[in-house]
């Protein structure tokens, strides 16, 4: 079942608010967890659990929360794709674009979020102790060399018993070692990110017009909803004060009913002005939505076959979308 632009914009806005609230709540939880002394001052997990690693309860807790954040973002992206596909067959591929774009964003965020946990897991304490500073090279050579000198007299047991800021320093050293070429972690994510990006390129190129059309309709629908909310006032409010506060809203009353012929005439004039460059595409869209919102006169003589043919011609010229054309046609047919 196809959805109108107003319904699409409303659902998208609600989805964005829900996603924002969920992500902000999880980020706040991450901040609270990171400030807990029992986690901040904890040492690395012992060998009996994860072996020779630098993983600490704080790193694991942050990794779990980050996973929840990524799950929320991915779920929102999938839901957004379903909403867009429900807007009409013409926009079906735009739903796929939204889903794949969300997947790309999730993979980019995952690369940063999981880099430290991966480094703490794959770079062991023994590897730090045996770090060969003479072979250090690349952008992290100075960093590794300095830290190698600092821990030259340190053994794996001392690193395991380290906690708080000291353990954090060892974890950052492990991250620097982990980034040293060849960085298999970065290459793996590069390949994973490239797969959906390659699929997005032809989809975006093929649906540029549909994307512009959908965005313009959604913006127009949101603008219309905002104007409608401004027009609605409490029962006891003074109409004089309302008109003085917003003259444009006071002048914009419910549009008078028009015949289908008059509606098509106005659309044709707007299209001619757009083609002549007298008005901008944004002006055309806003005025078109105003005309399309007008009720159709409930009179059998207000529409004849020629008016329906002209309406179809407006659709074929690209002035009307498929949804707008079908909606207007059905409205006119109901009034006959």
Cα torsion angle, 259, 261, 267, 273, sign: negative
Helix, strand, coil distribution of the chain in percent, nearest 5: 75, 0, 25
**248 within 8 A of 320, measured Cβ to Cβ:** no
pLDDT tens digits for range 89-112: 766 788 888 889 999 999 999 999
How far apart are alpha carbons 110 and 333 in whole angstroms?
Answer: 53
Cis peptide before 53 (omega within 30 of 0): no
How far apart are alpha carbons 98 and 78 in whole angstroms?
Answer: 8
Between CA 114 and CA 123, with CA 120 as vertex, the angle to 5 degrees is: 120
Does the pLDDT at position 64 exceed 70?
yes
pLDDT tens digits for range 122-150: 887 777 767 654 444 444 555 555 555 55
Specify which of 37-46, 96-105, 147-156, 267-276 reaches the highest per-range mean pLDDT: 96-105
pTM for the complete prediction?
0.57
**96 within 8 A of 196, measured Cβ to Cβ:** no
Confidence of residue 171 (pLDDT cuts 50, 70, 90): confident
Residue with tokens 């990171």: 34
Reference 270, options 260, 258, 283; nearest CA is 283
Hey, where are the domains in the chain? 1-216, 260-334
pLDDT tens digits for range 193-244: 999 999 888 888 887 777 776 666 656 555 555 544 444 445 445 444 443 4
CB-based contacts of 304: which residues, under 8 Å, 6+ apart?
A: 261
């Amino acid at each position: 079942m196809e959805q109108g632009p107003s319904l699409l914009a409303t659902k998208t806005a609600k989805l964005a608010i829900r996603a924002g609230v969920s992500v902000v709540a999880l980020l706040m939880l991450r901040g609270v967890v990171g400030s807990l002394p029992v986690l901040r001052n904890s040492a690395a997990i012992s060998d009996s659990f994860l072996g020779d690693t630098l993983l600490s309860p704080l790193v694991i807790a942050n990794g779990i929360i980050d996973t929840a954040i990524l799950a929320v973002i991915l779920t929102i992206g999938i839901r957004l794709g379903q909403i867009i596909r429900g807007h009409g067959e013409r926009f079906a591929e735009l739903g796929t674009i939204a889903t794949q774009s969300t997947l790309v964003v999730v993979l980019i965020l995952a690369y940063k979020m999981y880099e430290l946990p991966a480094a703490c897991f794959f770079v062991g304490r023994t590897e730090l102790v045996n770090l060969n500073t003479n072979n250090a090279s690349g952008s992290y050579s100075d960093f590794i060399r300095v830290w190698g000198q600092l821990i030259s007299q340190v053994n794996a047991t001392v690193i395991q018993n380290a906690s708080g800021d000291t353990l954090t320093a060892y974890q950052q050293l492990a991250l620097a070692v982990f980034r040293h070429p060849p960085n298999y972690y970065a290459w793996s994510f590069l390949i994973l990110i490239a797969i959906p990006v390659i699929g997005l390129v032809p989809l975006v190129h093929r649906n540029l017009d549909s994307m512009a059309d959908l965005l313009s309709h959604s913006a127009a629908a949101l603008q219309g909803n905002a104007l409608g909310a401004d027009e609605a006032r409490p029962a006891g409010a003074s109409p004089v004060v309302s008109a003085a506060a917003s003259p444009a809203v006071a002048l914009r009353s419910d549009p008078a009913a028009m015949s289908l012929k008059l509606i098509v005439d106005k659309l044709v004039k707007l299209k001619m002005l757009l083609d002549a460059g007298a008005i901008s595409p944004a002006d055309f869209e806003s005025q078109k939505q105003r005309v399309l919102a007008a009720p159709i006169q409930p009179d059998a003589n207000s529409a004849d076959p020629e008016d329906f043919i002209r309406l179809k011609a407006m659709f074929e010229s690209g002035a009307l979308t498929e949804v707008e054309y079908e909606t207007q046609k059905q409205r006119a047919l109901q009034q006959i």
